[in-house]
Structure 1
Amino acid sequence: MAPIDPHSFTDSSHPLTTHVSLSLYLDFTTSVIHGSALLSLSSPFSGDLSLDSRSISVTTILDPQTLSPLPYTVSPNPDPIKGAEIVVSLAGQSRLLVIYSTSPSASALQWLSPPQTFSKTHPYVYTQCQSVHARSIFPCQDTPAARIRYDAVLNIPSSLSAVMSARRVRRRPPVPEEAKHLDVASWCAEDRVVEEFVMEQPIPSYLFAFAVGELGFREVGPRTRVYAESAAVEVLDAAALEFAGTEEMIKQGEKLFGSYEWERFDLLVLPPSFPYGGMENPRMVFLTPTVIKGDATGAQVVAHELAHSWTGNLITNINNEHFWLNEGFTTYAERRIVEVVQGADRATLNIGIGWRGLNDEMERFKDNLEFTKLKNNQEGVDPDDVYSQVPYEKGFQFVLRIERQVGRTVFDEFLKKYIATFKFKSIDTDTFVDFLKANIPGIEKEINLQMWTEGVGIPEDAYEPVSTIYTKILSLAEGFKQGKMPNEDEVAEWSGQEWELYLENLPKSCEPSQVVALDKRYRLAESKDYEVKVSFLKLAISSKCKEYHGEVEKTLKSVGRMLYLRALFTALAQAGDTEEKQLAKQIFAEARETYHPIAQGVVESILSKYI
């Protein structure tokens, strides 16, 4: 066996899946999906074919042509990271039909009961498949090396509606034929409806996504709707304002990187439990409500997910060991879009915040330098545990270093050629480096490419941004160390980003009286901008300001974004006092069920490490 991916059972000598037809019955009473998955391979195959699964119960596997059973086994002892291997014995088939059911604990799915939603009357479910969680929704070759087209029918309660990372076809009554292989008596019940979708462009499985709930939308552009729960009228209206400039960003992206290949760029604002800031699912980007800040700066997250339409979705890392190819390029592309749409100062602030974050990650991984590399070894490693800003910010720095060497005009031409050459393909770091050297001859003599891609730490020729506003903020942060607080005139024009950069450049801990005085003047603990609020609360915890424990608890019980959970739970768990450690355990015990399964695992690993 020759693995293609350290996180998948897929064998590189086997044909890859090219198409999946899904029939899914969503049972909200049991938090289970009863499904069938018709997998089409790139060529007929004889022998044992490996598929990935996690917490999936297989009913049977059939030859779709004859409907005769195919022999299969499911590993009895699932791997803690990869899950259970399904091995199907094929005799020249190029298609196989898997009948199965998911588990209520499926790691990609969060089922919300009515009390957990805005409406309080209808349930909700959504997916998060990155990096290795699609296998908990349907058996598949769950690796970015396999790009699939798919179609899907979702059988859902008629009071709800569905969205997918796919083109919507129609909404219609269910027909019995669709459930002939499924043991679902209520498939054609009067209170059920079927929604059909099709994805015609090949995507990696981690970009498979859907959400089902009582959904409404606002039109914000010719290619963009903003969706959220229809009962969340304020969220919908605020999102429509925050993301009103989306079409302009798409146009700028096309100028910089080439045609937009995905037709639609719709946005879904999810419940607060969504574990990421955004997820770049093609045609239907998922967003946390915390990106709605009221000053349009939240649109920078949208710019990042939009940039993935070229770097990540069009060209994809072949596996998670090359994740920087997705995120480093996308962070660069995002900042180019922001520079055009919101100005160079705003882009520079982004770079500055990223620079601070990158340095913090070097401290986080000081005892495991492997994960300060762009190209790293993740054999036996859960990608959720080592998720960090390194592929984003060190990757960005590498891309920027190339641009700085050759000039923006030359680099822009290179970037367009790179995207055109590898679109709808999955590649590794060596492929990129070879392409770079072939198209910019002699670049390896000017930049140490091996040090950048395989070396640990931050290279000496990385770039800390320089600008008037950036230098001023760092100067004010330095003044705080000497006991000087910024005055109102100095911060009068600041938005959340300026405050975030300021707070992130203060000492890890300060005199409690200083921290309290800063908050008393500027009300940072009450900020509606969660980047500001969490940066301040992290400082308050490390500075032993116990009067903020209530606000920390309130924050951790109101959002599930892992960026915030990781920061605050780590700060509590690393605090020297038993009180903070006990508070962390208490909050997690009480809030655990409101977090997405991926976030639950991340917090559990933090607490087990430090407590």
Structure 2
Amino acid sequence: MRRLAAPLALLLASTACTTMEAAPPATSALQPERMISPILTSPEAVDASTYAEPQVARVTHVALDLDLDFAARRASGTATLDVLAASGANEIVLDSNGLEIARITDGAGRELAYEIGNMVEEGGKGAPLTIQLDGATTLRIEYRAPADASALQWLSPEQTAGKVHPFLFSQGQAILNRTWIPTQDSPGIRQTWEARITAPKPLDVVMSGVRQGEPEDLGNGRRAFTFVMDKPVPPYLIALAAGDIDFRAIGPRTGVWAEPSVIARARAEVADTEEMVVAAEKLYGEYRWGRYDMIVLPPAFPYGGMENPVMTFLTPTFIAGDRSNNGLVAHELAHSWSGNLVTNAVWGDSWLNEGVTTYFENRIVEAVYGKKRAEQEAALMYANILDTMAEVGGDAPGTALSTDGGYELGSAIAYDKGAFFLRTVERIVGRTRFDAWLRQWFDNHAFQPATSEMFHKDMMVNLVQGEAEAEALMLRQWIFEPGLPSNVAKPDPAAFAEVDRAVTAYTSAGTIPAAYSDWTAAEQMRFLDNLPKELTADQLAALDATLGLSGTGNNEIRFLWLEMALENRYDPAVPQVDAFLSEVGRAKFVRPLFQVLWNEGEWGRPIATRIYAKTRDSYHAVTRAGVDRVMDGE
């Protein structure tokens, strides 16, 4: 997943209805025997976010047969689970959050007793669903997801680009899928799955599995779409989207889906994807998921991207017209190895997904776009780390990579400190040795969960050569202790030399750089992010007029401009903020802008209240929860 929000706040298929091009070829991924991933039993691998007891009884496969009801905003049907139980096990415990269970039977249709336990609202843990096995190895659960299921966002036609058809997408990470799928919702309990999804014509359905054949016309104004994921994945990666979407191919195994009015721009923006896949394979081995397709969702999607296997979900806010934000695509692609192939067993080790992926992303960017761009993007990451350390303190417990707490989405620690840890190791042992080690890590732990302790042990056994090198690497300090170790491999200070000189010139003399329009997006962001915090209305007006900030097509830069304007109570920017927050649901942008408005007291809070009153219902539950905390003064 691409980072969610600002460092500080987050630290503490078939043919489409107007298809322009044939969908990717339908293939069968079924295997005679399904792969079963191991369950880790070490103390640090125990997941506090699940009620499941997988060492007693675990789910190995999920088969969904669901109808999508857009009028009622409900998904309903059955989930059939394959269960592997220890000898003598009498029950299995699943995760549930608001699921309405009608009945549960075994494979022969025999009724099984079950009980839904006490609900835990905090953190979205939900309630345990305990089922008496009575010898059953197959469970058939008839159920309905609640209309307010946090994982599902049902969009009205007005919330889409086409304005004609409704849209639905799911977002499962970290523990939201228990609001629409009854299973053991833990990253350490990997499961294969299949699904049959029915939706009204002319909507298309895509999922994070391989499409099986053409959609079946049911003759009642609906079609059925079938998918298979034959490789065991953490359950948060089961994802679907349904809407008026078209497909465009990029390469022999890559393509993109989007609404018809968006598809051309989306295809142009991600045109380098096949090249990225090739670069990634050269670095760390075979891409093991078959196809790599993407879907550009409506702007309500709360994240930059989500690495759902074979179908990455992307925000339209990354489309800039010049591929300057394609680090997002590189990031989600890299998750095909770190996160999807090898997954953190518990959310306190989320850096194993995000930090490793962010490092890998930077290597893909270097291979495809060159070392200068990679170094500049690394320098921006390093600045995020320093900013976070300065705000929370270098000894804050949350600045350790491995924590015993919950999953802190989007932290500059999990992403950026994690990436700089690997960058530092690479610099010390050399790129050749490091790449060989990381490749064997992916190979030897493919389709399995992992912990920080396992990662550290593997480094010590398969990478480190001698006590002196072990001491120089400071591995345990990097992973398990707070702060930024002294051996950090800092980015090239010359990466932004020209930009930093321009910042100095502006700070001392108010000189606006004439070369700004020729700079890379990273250089422009570096300049804006380092301007003086206090600016007058005249200075802001001059910056906007000269640099075209309010008219930029790059939403990363647009966000920095709006944030800077609000921090200085610049009234001409308020309509721009209103429009932006009404159009975009990406939490990385939305929550910080509401936070700035809230921080500005009597000037900003009435603006925030007015805007949120009309936009709240359009935001995903993830975005909404973050802004609710802001508006409650937390």
TM-score, normalised relative to structure 1: 0.92
Given candidates 89, 102, 106, the residue that maps to 1:46 is 89
1:434 pairs with 2:457: yes
CA distance in structure 2 between the aligned counterparts of 1:368 and 1:40, rounded to whole angstroms: 46
Aligned to 1:185: none
Given candidates 63, 68, 75, the residue that maps to 2:110 is 68
Q: Per the alignment, do residues 50 and 508 of structure 1 end up closer, same or farther by CA in structure 2, a change over 3 Å counting?
A: farther
Given candidates 462, 472, 486, the residue that maps to 2:512 is 486
Aligned to 2:34: none
Q: How does 1:130-169 map to 2 (within 5 A)?
A: 130-169=173-212
Q: How does 1:279-358 map to 2 (within 5 A)?
A: 279-358=306-385
Letter in 1 for 2:494: T
CA distance in structure 2 between the aligned counterparts of 1:370 and 1:100, rounded to whole angstroms: 41
TM-aligned CA deviation for residue 123 of structure 1? 1.1
CA distance in structure 2 between the aligned counterparts of 1:421 and 1:9, rounded to whole angstroms: 29
TM-aligned CA deviation for residue 444 of structure 1? 2.7
CA distance in structure 2 between the aligned counterparts of 1:377 and 1:554, rounded to whole angstroms: 40
1:6 pairs with 2:48: yes
TM-score, normalised relative to structure 2: 0.89
Q: How does 1:204-223 map to 2 (within 5 A)?
A: 204-223=234-253
Given candidates 401, 409, 417, the residue that maps to 2:432 is 409
Aligned length: 587
1:31 pairs with 2:73: yes
CA distance in structure 2 between the aligned counterparts of 1:444 and 1:367, rounded to whole angstroms: 23
Letter in 2 for 1:239: A
Letter in 2 for 1:521: T
Letter in 1 for 2:545: K
User: Is the Cα–Cα contact under 8 Å of residues 20 and 151 in structure 1 kept in the other structure?
Assistant: yes
Aligned to 2:629: 605
User: Is the Cα–Cα contact under 8 Å of residues 370 and 377 in structure 1 kept in the other structure?
Assistant: no
Letter in 1 for 2:74: V
Q: How does 1:161-560 map to 2 (within 5 A)?
A: 161-173=204-216, 190-230=220-260, 232=261, 235-363=262-390, 365-366=392-393, 369-378=396-405, 381=406, 383=407, 387-439=410-462, 440-442=464-466, 443-488=469-514, 490-560=515-585
User: Is the Cα–Cα contact under 8 Å of residues 502 and 513 in structure 2 kept in the other structure?
Assistant: no
User: Is the Cα–Cα contact under 8 Å of residues 473 and 501 in structure 1 kept in the other structure?
Assistant: yes
TM-aligned CA deviation for residue 323 of structure 1? 0.5
TM-aligned CA deviation for residue 28 of structure 1? 0.6
TM-aligned CA deviation for residue 477 of structure 1? 2.0
Q: Per the alignment, do residues 351 and 105 of structure 1 end up closer, same or farther by CA in structure 2, a change over 3 Å counting?
A: same
CA distance in structure 1 between the aligned counterparts of 2:154 and 2:443, rounded to whole angstroms: 39
CA distance in structure 2 between the aligned counterparts of 1:590 and 1:244, rounded to whole angstroms: 36
SS state at 1:227 partner: strand
CA distance in structure 2 between the aligned counterparts of 1:508 and 1:203, rounded to whole angstroms: 45
1:588 pairs with 2:612: yes
Letter in 2 for 1:216: D
**CA-to-partner distance for each residue in 1:294-328, whole Å, 9 max, x for gaps?**
11223221111111111111111111100000111
Given candidates 52, 69, 90, the residue that maps to 2:133 is 90
TM-aligned CA deviation for residue 469 of structure 1? 4.0
* Percentage of identical aligned residues: 34
CA distance in structure 2 between the aligned counterparts of 1:311 and 1:475, rounded to whole angstroms: 37
User: Is the Cα–Cα contact under 8 Å of residues 107 and 136 in structure 2 kept in the other structure?
Assistant: no
Aligned to 1:182: none
**CA-to-partner distance for each residue in 1:175-228, whole Å, 9 max, x for gaps?**
xxxxxxxxxxxxx66111111110111110111111011111111111111101
Aligned to 2:591: 566
CA distance in structure 2 between the aligned counterparts of 1:362 and 1:168, rounded to whole angstroms: 45
CA distance in structure 2 between the aligned counterparts of 1:365 and 1:557, rounded to whole angstroms: 31
Letter in 2 for 1:471: A
**CA-to-partner distance for each residue in 1:338-388, whole Å, 9 max, x for gaps?**
10110111101111111222233335545992322211122xx5x46x542
Letter in 1 for 2:377: N
User: Is the Cα–Cα contact under 8 Å of residues 46 and 93 in structure 1 kept in the other structure?
Assistant: no
Deviates more, 1:441-450 or 1:301-310: 441-450
Q: Per the alignment, do residues 512 and 462 of structure 1 end up closer, same or farther by CA in structure 2, a change over 3 Å counting?
A: farther
CA distance in structure 2 between the aligned counterparts of 1:365 and 1:109, rounded to whole angstroms: 34
Deviates more, 1:37-46 or 1:514-523: 37-46
CA distance in structure 2 between the aligned counterparts of 1:414 and 1:198, rounded to whole angstroms: 32
Structure 1: which 5+ residue stretches go unaligned?
175-187
SS state at 1:200 partner: strand
TM-aligned CA deviation for residue 12 of structure 1? 4.6
1:80 pairs with 2:105: no
CA distance in structure 1 between the aligned counterparts of 2:335 and 2:549, rounded to whole angstroms: 32
CA distance in structure 2 between the aligned counterparts of 1:272 and 1:368, rounded to whole angstroms: 37
CA distance in structure 2 between the aligned counterparts of 1:369 and 1:513, rounded to whole angstroms: 39
SS state at 2:164 partner: coil
User: Is the Cα–Cα contact under 8 Å of residues 4 and 12 in structure 1 kept in the other structure?
Assistant: no
CA distance in structure 2 between the aligned counterparts of 1:561 and 1:163, rounded to whole angstroms: 21
Structure 2: which 5+ residue stretches go unaligned?
1-40
TM-aligned CA deviation for residue 393 of structure 1? 0.1
TM-aligned CA deviation for residue 475 of structure 1? 2.6
SS state at 2:135 partner: strand
Runs of 4+ displaced beyond 6 Å: none
Q: Per the alignment, do residues 597 and 368 of structure 1 end up closer, same or farther by CA in structure 2, a change over 3 Å counting?
A: farther
User: Is the Cα–Cα contact under 8 Å of residues 220 and 226 in structure 1 kept in the other structure?
Assistant: yes
**CA-to-partner distance for each residue in 1:117-144, whole Å, 9 max, x for gaps?**
2222211100111111111111111111
CA distance in structure 2 between the aligned counterparts of 1:197 and 1:503, rounded to whole angstroms: 45
CA distance in structure 1 between the aligned counterparts of 2:215 and 2:428, rounded to whole angstroms: 56
SS state at 1:16 partner: strand
CA distance in structure 1 between the aligned counterparts of 2:259 and 2:587, rounded to whole angstroms: 22
CA distance in structure 2 between the aligned counterparts of 1:486 and 1:332, rounded to whole angstroms: 33
With a CA cutoff of 8 Å and minimum separation of 6, indicate the structure with the bigger relative contact order: 2
User: Is the Cα–Cα contact under 8 Å of residues 14 and 49 in structure 1 kept in the other structure?
Assistant: yes
CA distance in structure 2 between the aligned counterparts of 1:370 and 1:600, rounded to whole angstroms: 27
CA distance in structure 2 between the aligned counterparts of 1:275 and 1:268, rounded to whole angstroms: 14
Aligned to 1:177: none
TM-aligned CA deviation for residue 484 of structure 1? 2.9
User: Is the Cα–Cα contact under 8 Å of residues 517 and 547 in structure 2 kept in the other structure?
Assistant: no
